[in-house]
Structures are given as structure tokens and as C-alpha cells.
Chains A and B, each alone.
Chain A
């Protein structure tokens, strides 16, 4: 079945552009492949479509149900004619946004996600400034979950896209979050209402990174920066040898935050160290910024030339007197794989011993 569908292709038209894709491709993916952008809220490219937010609707000429289908779930078919921005599509998206705003505490000024919120972005794009449902049931204002030390959860800003729960269950494998209740009262809950300080929650923050709004937001971001104030620099997390890719966010020359990047080893995820720890030591007052050499039982700052020179001298002396196997090297799991490789190479080739180890056993 799989090979069967992989070889067959279908040709369709999206916004008057022709496009040929393998059978089984969703309209969203086909559109993306030819540079057409469709808004999404619940869609996660790593997982099967959730099909819940319905913002990604597109119009199919002559289709059933008024021809509107969620592009993240609907498969392309031969000869299909798709419009991603017809008037009906725009009206439908406006309705969804209107509904979402009808149960949303709109406080963009003070919101951590101001400038990087998908709800805000789409409302701006589709000209939905406020909800048309002026009165009616609302999720109570501001009653959030502040149990975690790195981030808070505000149900009155939650649009129930369910991304956080999917990340936690299917990608992080922790299953801390679940979808409780039904109808209007559906909400994101922790399992059995445990606090987000429970050991089950690793504080990895992947739920926060996945959240398209300010419903889950990091205190660091809330207090210190907005997305439009920072410069992103992609780099490798220095905390362990996995080599997760992330963007370090800098504001006025200081690192203020980290956002996961879709790297080959981390696929858009980070752990608590990468997300909340890695950038903090950079500006820590306790950090060593020069080598120290012990003189008369006291550490004194030294230059790199002095420090490396001392090491070379001592190692050469020991090797001469006791042989290379009197020396052992132990590298740190905080180093990157490349550094660890270089280290063992140095031990073997330059010093001449196989006594080399690393602490990465966790």
C-alpha cells in the first residue's frame, strides 16, 4: 500500500498554479511546496494532522460541504482546483478568529508573545480587531498556573490548539498534559491536576515553544524581551553532546533566551538545560573568564599562554619520567562531540595513551 501510493502522483491547481505531488500529499504540503502560505494553528509537521483549529481551510471547486476543507488533513486529488484565499475562505477564517477572540483575554501590550503570536498575526492579517461576540461566556480572567518556575500557563489566552499536549505526549514522551472537559469547557490540564513542579514534568519547555500564543509563556521572555527586540543566532547547545540546534536570542549584546531550531538531532525540541539553562551561565558572575594558576595555595588569574605552557611542561615531565600511560584524560560531557573527538585524538596521538574517558553516561 505504501509503495503503491508513493509511486503514483496527482496533478492539481492551487491558486491557478499547477502542481504535481505524490498521492496522499495534503493540500497544505502541496501549497507549501510551491511557495503558497496557508495559516495554521494546530498543525505540527512531525505529527498526523489534528484538524482541530480549522484556520487552514481552503476552498475546493465543486467540493462537498460548501467546498471548504482543512488543508492540513485533506489529500490532493487529480484535477482538484484549490483556492487558498477566496472570499469564502477569508470569511471562514475571520469567523474562526472571531470565535477565538470571543474567549481570549486580549492584553497584547503586556503579553510575552506580543510580536510573535500567531493569533495576533492572523487577526492583524485578516482585519479582526475585536470579537463580534461582545457578551457571553468567558474563561475567567488571569487565573493561571504558576507552579512551574520557568513558565506560566494562562487558560484565558489558550486557543485550544492542543499543540502543547501533543508535544508533551508524542514528542517529549512525558504525557504531563491532557485535554480535559468537553465543549466550551474543554481545557488543557495536567494529568490528575498535578502541579507543573511534579517530577513528571521535566520543565523542558517544549510545550512553551510549541504554543502559538501567550497562553504558555516563559518568565524570561515576559520580563526581559519581546521577539522584535532580539537578534537570533543559530548555534549548537553547549550543554551536552547531543548537539541540539537552537537560536540564542540577544538583546543589547546580552543573551536573553533560547528557542529550539529544527536540527538533525533535536527536531525542534530542547531539554530544560538547553531551553532555560544554557544561556544563563554566559553572563553569570561566577563564571571563570581567564585561566587560574595556583600559587602558594591560592588561585591567581593567568594568561592562556602561561596556563597552556604550564600544562605542556608538566605533561612532558610526567611522560618522560613515568611513561605515557601514567597520564589519563577525562573530558566533560558538556563539550561538543567535535571537542571530545579532538580531545581523544590529542591523548592518543600527542600524548600516546589510550587512557581517555568521558562522563557522558546519563
Chain B
């Protein structure tokens, strides 16, 4: 069943100027903020818990839990950071919000500023989104002029909070929380060692919240409709709606908003969404959640619900919301080789297993691709994947194996055919 009323995209394409505060408020903008500032802060956290809002950046960590951790920190100042690096291939949904409804992201960030008594928020926008950065700058200026940013926000004495816009430099790894903070500080974008947790020692060594663009937009939705209603849009394993990005061999590529728990087949085949493959050939597999996500075979994706729980139980993942569709003309090994090329290119080079291991993996995939595999190479590949996952320092290296393992599980025969 298609979504009746968009929640996150409700204003998109309706506003004549997406940066205008007047237009924004005409369609319910800043209602959540107005509600939030008269709520008890604990009550806001309760609503977020009830909503079971999972982070939309990829890791799906419960947002309420993250906020509570930061809320408990005694250290000040606290910083709010929005991750708008959107570097995951096949993911282009944050772009939609940043460009078409930037004030909704700003609203979510101001609510966070209110909850944590923070004075400074940072938004780290992907360098390639140059024109969107300009739109966002305009939205921030307008919000400031209308008194939603700056000193004494909405006339509330002492509610001082402003946003700083930082441009990324084009490295995928800078989407990783701690690398992102290093980059904001003007350092090289390589991940930090954890512990300490960023909620304790984050930006400029102060407690810091990092959330995704869509996550911040969801916060306003939770406050507006209440946690319960938000939860009911989704399932018990994650409430709300989710922005998805359809691409690959799909007839209607693009960004859509769906209720979590919607049948995957509807997303793929109904005319309202994907409309089936663009080539007329059947789907062979789908890469979910970007390059760091798993691959689902046509068998595996049958009768699935687009839901965090149903996906996990079936070794799939929602991740960022990317749904890259590949038809039967695609060879699993060719596909994986290009995925590996991505990781080789994006490895920041800090830790040994990822710096050298990704290149060795790519070399092995290329060997398979040439049909030059030797007895034992598949087992060697499996061992390498295990070690690289266990030993890598950050989420990039740790997730290199996700797609490769699922490809091996689903298409082992194609690998075996490359062994002679």
C-alpha cells in the first residue's frame, strides 16, 4: 500500500522557494520546534525512544539512545553535527532534503541545539554538492533573519544557537563520524581511535552528536506527530518512513518515501515506484544500502518487507536506503570487482588490513575475472574477508566483506567457474 501522506517530503515541490521561511511555515515548518521548546527535554527524549527512530545514515543505531548518551554527559560545550557527506554510492536522498527542503534539516538541528543546550551546530556537506551548499547557505541566512538561528531564538532568552556550513573534500571515509570531525577541525579526514566515544570526546574534544540529514528531518516529524504515531508508520523494528534511492536497471529510478515495512515487491514492481526493470530482463540481485551493504539474490528478496527486522533476519540491510537493481546480464564477479575498486580507491590508508588488504582483495577478484583462479583461492578469499572485517579500524574496512560474502553465498558457482 502506497504512502498516503508524505512525512519527510510533504513540502517538496510545493514550496515555490525552498529556502523561504515563509513558505516553509506555510506547510507546517517550525511547528515541531515551537512544540519542542515548551516541552520538557526528558519528554522529547521519551518521544524519540517511543518512535524507535533508527539513524538514517546507514548504521541504523537507535537515535533516542544516542541522544540520551549525550544528554547524560556533564561536559560542555556540546556540539551538534549533521552528516551530509552522502558518499555512499547509490545514495542520493539527503541531497533531496538539502536542496528541496533545507529548512526541515535546520529545524531538526535547532531542536537538537535546544535539547542539549548547545550553541553551535555544524553541517558537513559533500563537496560535490556545490550548488546545494549555496541553497543551504541561503536557507541558513533566511532562518537567521527570521530569528530561528542566532541569539535568543524565537525570543527565548539565552537560546543562542547557530549553524556553520562546512564543505567536504570528496572522500567517502569523511562520512565516517570521527573522520568527519577531524575534517571539520581542518585535519586530514582519517578516522580516530575509539574509545573514547564521540558523545564524550568529539569535535574539538567536546561531547558531540553526529546524525544524518534524514535523521534530523525525522526528529521534527516525531515531535510533530508524537512518538507513537511515528512508530506506527513503521514496524516494531524501526518506526517512521524511509527515503529510498532506486537506481541501476530499474524503470523509474529516483528518490521515494515509503513506510518502513512496505512489501519490497511493491517498491520494485509497482508503477508508482520502481516499475520493474528497465531492460525487461528479470532482476538478478539487489545491492542494498550502498557499497558497504549486502547483496540480495532474487531468491532472497522474494516476499520481503522493507523493514529493518525482516531484512536482518534474512541477512539483508536497509543501510542508507540505497536499492541498486542489477538484472540477469550482470555477472556477480564483475560486479564485485567494481565494488572492490571503490573500496581500494576510498580506503584512507590508515590501518594495515584495509590499506593493503583491499588491494589484495581486488587483485584476487581480478584473477577470478580472468578465470585464473587456483584451487584454494575461494577459501583464501573467505579467510581474507574474515581477517579484514575483524581487524580494520573503521566501518569502511569492516564492511568491505559484507557484499563480497553475500555474493559468495549467493553465487558460489560463478566463483567456482573461475577456478581451473
Which residues of A come within 8 Å of B, CB atoms?
1, 48-55, 57, 65-66, 68, 70, 73-75, 91-92, 95-96, 99-100, 102-103, 132-133, 135-137, 159-160, 179, 181-186
A-B contact pairs, 12 of them (CB 8 A): A51-B351, A52-B351, A74-B195, A91-B387, A95-B384, A100-B352, A100-B356, A132-B380, A136-B363, A182-B348, A183-B345, A184-B344
Residue of B nearest to A59 (CB): B390
B178 CB to closest chain A CB (Å) equals 11
- Write out the residue numbers on chain B whose beta carbons fall within 8 Å of the beta carbon of A74: 195
Residue of A nearest to B200 (CB): A1
Q: Which of B148-207 contact A (CB under 8 A)?
A: 171, 188, 193-195
- Write out the residue numbers on chain A whose beta carbons fall within 8 Å of the beta carbon of B29: none
Residue of B nearest to A100 (CB): B352
Whether the pair A92, B363 counts as a contact (CB closer than 8 A) is no
Whether the pair B360, A160 counts as a contact (CB closer than 8 A) is no
B interface size (C-beta, 8 A): 35
Residue of A nearest to B392 (CB): A54
Query: Does B75 sit within 8 A of A, measured CB to CB?
Result: yes
Query: Does B353 sit within 8 A of A, measured CB to CB?
Result: yes
Given contacts A51-B351, A182-B347, contact A92 B390 (CB under 8 A): yes
Given contacts A96-B391, A137-B363, contact A52 B188 (CB under 8 A): no
Residue of B nearest to A182 (CB): B349
CA distance A332 to B198 in the complex (A): 52
B350 CB to closest chain A CB (Å) equals 5
Whether the pair A183, B349 counts as a contact (CB closer than 8 A) is yes
- Write out the residue numbers on chain A whose beta carbons fall within 8 Å of the beta carbon of B171: 182
Whether the pair A54, B393 counts as a contact (CB closer than 8 A) is yes
Interface centre among A52, A73, A74, A179 (most CB of B within 10 A): A52
Closest 7 CB pairs of A and B: A186-B349, A51-B193, A183-B347, A99-B356, A95-B387, A66-B390, A184-B359
CA distance A1 to B200 in the complex (A): 10
Contact of B356 among A49, A51, A102 (CB under 8 A): A102
Interface centre among B193, B356, B383 (most CB of A within 10 A): B356
Whether the pair B393, A92 counts as a contact (CB closer than 8 A) is no
B371-395 Cβ-contact flags toward A at 8 Å (1 or 0): 0000000001001101101111100
Which residues of B come within 8 Å of A, CB atoms?
74-75, 171, 188, 193-195, 344-353, 355-360, 363, 380, 383-384, 386-387, 389-393, 398
Whether the pair A103, B75 counts as a contact (CB closer than 8 A) is no
Interface centre among B195, B351, B391, B393 (most CB of A within 10 A): B391
- Write out the residue numbers on chain B whose beta carbons fall within 8 Å of the beta carbon of A182: 171, 346-349
Given contacts A65-B398, A136-B359, A184-B344, contact A92 B391 (CB under 8 A): yes
Whether the pair B393, A160 counts as a contact (CB closer than 8 A) is no
Given contacts A52-B393, A65-B398, A100-B352, contact A75 B358 (CB under 8 A): no
Whether the pair A1, B75 counts as a contact (CB closer than 8 A) is yes
CA distance A99 to B171 in the complex (A): 24
Contact of A102 among B360, B380, B392 (CB under 8 A): B360
CA distance A52 to B360 in the complex (A): 18
Interface centre among B194, B195, B348, B359 (most CB of A within 10 A): B359
CA distance A21 to B399 in the complex (A): 33
- Write out the residue numbers on chain B whose beta carbons fall within 8 Å of the beta carbon of A51: 193, 351, 393
Given contacts A73-B193, A95-B387, contact A136 B353 (CB under 8 A): no
Contact of B352 among A65, A66, A96 (CB under 8 A): A96
Known contacts A52-B393, A103-B356, A183-B344; 6 additional CB pairs below 8 A are A50-B193, A75-B195, A92-B391, A137-B359, A186-B348, A186-B349
Whether the pair B347, A66 counts as a contact (CB closer than 8 A) is no
Whether the pair A92, B387 counts as a contact (CB closer than 8 A) is yes
- Write out the residue numbers on chain A whose beta carbons fall within 8 Å of the beta carbon of B349: 160, 179, 181-186
CA distance A358 to B358 in the complex (A): 59
Whether the pair A96, B353 counts as a contact (CB closer than 8 A) is yes
- Write out the residue numbers on chain B whose beta carbons fall within 8 Å of the beta carbon of A103: 356
- Write out the residue numbers on chain B whose beta carbons fall within 8 Å of the beta carbon of A179: 188, 349
Residue of A nearest to B192 (CB): A51
